[in-house]
Structure 1
Amino acid sequence: MATTTNTDIPVLSTKVEVVDRLAEANGSVKPFVAPKDDLTILQYHPSFGELLGYSPTHSLLLSSEGTSNNPFFHEACVFLPEHDEVYITSNLLQSTTQSAYPTILISRVKLYRGEKDNVEKVDWQKMRPPPGIDMPNGGVNYQDGILFCAQGTAASGTGGIYYMPRGAPPKAMVTNWYGRDFNSVNDVVVTNDGCIWFTDPSYGNEQDFRQRPKLPSQVYRFDPKTGDLRVMADGFGMCNGLCFDLEQKTCYITDTDQIHGDGKHMKQPATIYAFDIDNRYETPFLVNRRVFAYAAVGFPDGIKCDLQGNVYSGCGDGVEVWNPAGTLIGRILVPGGVANFCFDGEDDQWSAAWNLRSRKALEEKIKEHEKSSVPLYLDVAG
């Protein structure tokens, strides 16, 4: 498909509002209402101000607003630092033609950096998923390419986890639970031991492109060295995003049971659960399930940890951030909300759909030899 180039990328100052938590809680001040056309940051705790630095900025790299109603920027948001590229999967795309729609495309966004490492230019190319990766959703860096979650189609035998190496055909990693198709694999991470963890809700069926569920909404672990495939956690309405802290002692899993194909179910979970990793018989188990956080707005989708153990999740208002104790320390308010995002491990620049820059964080990184907070790529939902 044709490549779209954008060179009109201004660096804008980001407004930071310091929230009086007590005044907001007791109703003496009204909750902050974000502008509809710009990014604002709410600081609930001084530690979030330390992450932001003295003068954070942001840049809008790409937008289809005004040219298309199709939600091109939705999930995955995988950054390949060696190529300065971000890969993003769309939500369901519709068409007025008789082509095979609805469908999902993969966007490849090439970043070109200039002064102070700001992104000055991007090339955006929409790509059809290669054979096997049917209706892709989440993704993660893996070897020299990307692991993609294939939600599958109405046909049996589709869906699962696929490895897409750079410049080579995709390779199926795990596609079924001992003969039963997965529901619609959603998100994936890789732990230090090389094992692949993924979630499997049933959104594909609710969106009318996937067969009826044959399994509960569960979290799985697959060992590509031995073929061992295990259920690690269940009891979710719709398990969605997952991540681990830096030491991989805690696993965080989002439950987006509040949102279904027929609308919102406000009494259902919009919750992040935390689990401890307990190694028994040289094998990890998820134990001590507990509520870590409940989204302030909407529901928590994609989720990541930074090097300090803070937890970030894409929610209905943007990206919400909690410290390891589960205290909300900040909210990055993005118009339209955020489905997923990723960190840029090469410098302290937060970019892709939005790019925030922190000089203090960069200085701290140099001083701490890359032990400072890691910035992120934000993917604006819709």
Structure 2
Amino acid sequence: MSSVISSMALPAHTPIPSGFSVYDKAFYNILGSAPTLEVIAQNSSFPFAHEASVYIPEKDELFLSSNIFTDPVTNESTIKISKVNVGANPVTSEIIDTNVSMANGGTNYKGGVLWTAQGTLNETGGVVLMSSSPPYGTHLFVGDYLGRPFNSLNDIVVAKDGAFWFTDPIYGWRQGIRPKPQLRQQVYRYDPSTQGIRVVADGFSRPNGISFSPDEKTVYITDTGETNGDGSKDALEPATIYAFDVSIIHGQPFLTNRRLFAVPGNGIPDGIKVDQYGNVYAGCKDGVNVWSAGGVLLGKVLVKGGTSNFSFGKNGSMFILNENRLYRAQLNPQYHGTLV
């Protein structure tokens, strides 16, 4: 449930700074007393700030994956991983050299970054752990589903029991970087302790972002089917956040009671995160949209051009990816994401 922290909230009559939009008074609690929004890094040469946004609190560093772009040296489609030192003044960033194949989403895992690697026409993708320190060594946990190659893994989250939950749409095939799919567009659960893998959900147009509620009784999954992946759009396809109950049946988790949680008014909901009170945040065409656990739109952190993904940092900070720009929003210091 959302928590009211009146001592940190803006009074309802207080003008809201540009960059924020309030739809419900509960959003004042999330904003805190002095919300701000600023650009902290930018790069006009390539879209460095597209996906992942994995914050390493021990180092105050952020790992990002770029959008696909044509490498000026190889003339091939590529994705680069950047490391941003958000604790530095000024903020510094660098491209790192690692063998993660076309990285997309990611999450914190044992001090490193757990990537969903999409793969290429000649290389399979999979779930890859990368060290957060040079030389950024990697370990492949799983690269296929019982012998059948994944489509192009998109986003991932780690449950409290250590299992990896991740999504697998066909965007890589639509973008010409992956072969024709051999699997439906599904959501998986992989247990690294047993190396067992299961399909836990299907029936999506394009399964994308994934996140748990704080008690892990609910899983939120975004379906971004409105954006096909080849540059075209279809307004009759989903731009939707679905919620599922996590039910334990015969000792194993199943996703039950699928229901529509929310639909943004502008664009698709891509990356998704949850704060400690159960409020749900999603990257959308106009910025980060925020809903209560009951599906009520509370407010927005407005970013021109929108965002595919974002992450929480320390003390109410939020890092928002905007292709060639990286933003930092300062919200209520008492709020934090469930991943930090």
- Contact 1:89–1:137 (8 Å) recurs in 2: yes
Q: Distance in 2 between matches of 1:278 and 1:238?
A: 24
Structure 1 residues 181, 39: CA separation in 2 closer, same or farther (over 3 Å shift)?
farther
Deviation track 1:170-205 (CA, whole Å, cap 9, x = no partner) reads: 101010011110000000000000000100001001
1:347 aligns with 2:323: no
- Contact 1:220–1:231 (8 Å) recurs in 2: yes
Deviation at 1:256, TM superposition (A): 0.4
2:241 alignment partner in structure 1:
272
1:74 aligns with 2:50: yes
SS at match of 1:338: coil
1:380 alignment partner in structure 2:
none
Deviation at 1:83, TM superposition (A): 0.6
Structure 1 residues 204, 218: CA separation in 2 closer, same or farther (over 3 Å shift)?
same
Deviation at 1:375, TM superposition (A): 6.3
Q: Give the counterpart letter for 2:76 in structure 1.
A: Y
1:139 aligns with 2:106: yes
Deviation at 1:351, TM superposition (A): 3.6
Deviation at 1:54, TM superposition (A): 2.2
Q: Give the counterpart letter for 2:157 in structure 1.
A: V
2:94 alignment partner in structure 1:
125
Structure 1 residues 301, 211: CA separation in 2 closer, same or farther (over 3 Å shift)?
same
2:283 alignment partner in structure 1:
314
Unaligned runs of 5+ in 1: 1-15, 20-37, 114-119, 366-372, 378-382
Q: Distance in 2 between matches of 1:213 and 1:153?
A: 12
Q: Give the counterpart letter for 1:165 in structure 2.
A: S
Deviation at 1:55, TM superposition (A): 2.2
Structure 1 residues 109, 96: CA separation in 2 closer, same or farther (over 3 Å shift)?
closer
1:161 aligns with 2:124: no
- Contact 1:351–1:376 (8 Å) recurs in 2: no
SS at match of 1:60: strand
Larger mean Cα displacement after TM superposition, 71-80 or 167-176 = 167-176
- Which structure has more helix as a fraction of its residues? 1
- Contact 2:173–2:181 (8 Å) recurs in 1: yes
TM-score scaled by length of structure 2: 0.89
Deviation at 1:241, TM superposition (A): 0.3
SS at match of 1:347: coil
Q: Give the counterpart letter for 1:41 in structure 2.
A: F
- Contact 2:186–2:199 (8 Å) recurs in 1: yes
Q: Distance in 2 between matches of 1:39 and 1:137?
A: 31
Percent identity, aligned pairs only, is: 42
Q: Distance in 1 between matches of 2:19 and 2:275?
A: 21
Q: How does 1:246-325 map to 2 (within 5 A)?
A: 246-260=214-228, 261-325=230-294
Deviation at 1:217, TM superposition (A): 0.5
Q: Give RMSD over aligned pairs.
A: 2.0
Q: Distance in 2 between matches of 1:214 and 1:375?
A: 35
1:239 aligns with 2:207: yes
SS at match of 1:301: coil
Q: Distance in 1 between matches of 2:116 and 2:20?
A: 31
Larger mean Cα displacement after TM superposition, 316-325 or 347-356 = 347-356
2:34 to 45, 55, 71: 55
Q: How does 1:181-200 map to 2 (within 5 A)?
A: 181-200=149-168
- Contact 1:185–1:198 (8 Å) recurs in 2: yes
Q: Distance in 2 between matches of 1:239 and 1:351?
A: 23
Q: Distance in 2 between matches of 1:96 and 1:136?
A: 19
2:179 alignment partner in structure 1:
211
Deviation at 1:39, TM superposition (A): 5.6
- Contact 2:267–2:284 (8 Å) recurs in 1: yes
2:86 to 111, 129, 141: 111
Q: Give the counterpart letter for 1:75 in structure 2.
A: E
Unaligned runs of 5+ in 2: 1-9, 321-325
Q: Give the counterpart letter for 1:88 in structure 2.
A: L
Q: Distance in 1 between matches of 2:20 and 2:297?
A: 13
SS at match of 2:172: helix
Structure 1 stretches (4+) deviating beyond 6 angstroms? Answer: none
Deviation at 1:96, TM superposition (A): 4.3
Q: Distance in 2 between matches of 1:302 and 1:107?
A: 18
TM-score scaled by length of structure 1: 0.80
1:374 aligns with 2:336: yes
Deviation at 1:81, TM superposition (A): 0.6
SS at match of 1:49: helix
Q: Distance in 2 between matches of 1:95 and 1:106?
A: 13
Structure 1 residues 100, 169: CA separation in 2 closer, same or farther (over 3 Å shift)?
farther
Q: Could you say which structure has the larger radius of gyration?
A: 1
Structure 1 residues 348, 203: CA separation in 2 closer, same or farther (over 3 Å shift)?
same
Deviation track 1:277-315 (CA, whole Å, cap 9, x = no partner) reads: 101122110000000001110000000010111000001
Deviation at 1:100, TM superposition (A): 5.2
Q: Give the counterpart letter for 1:93 in structure 2.
A: F
Deviation track 1:116-160 (CA, whole Å, cap 9, x = no partner) reads: xxxx321110124x22x21100000001211011100111x5101
Q: Distance in 2 between matches of 1:357 and 1:290?
A: 32
- Contact 2:24–2:298 (8 Å) recurs in 1: yes
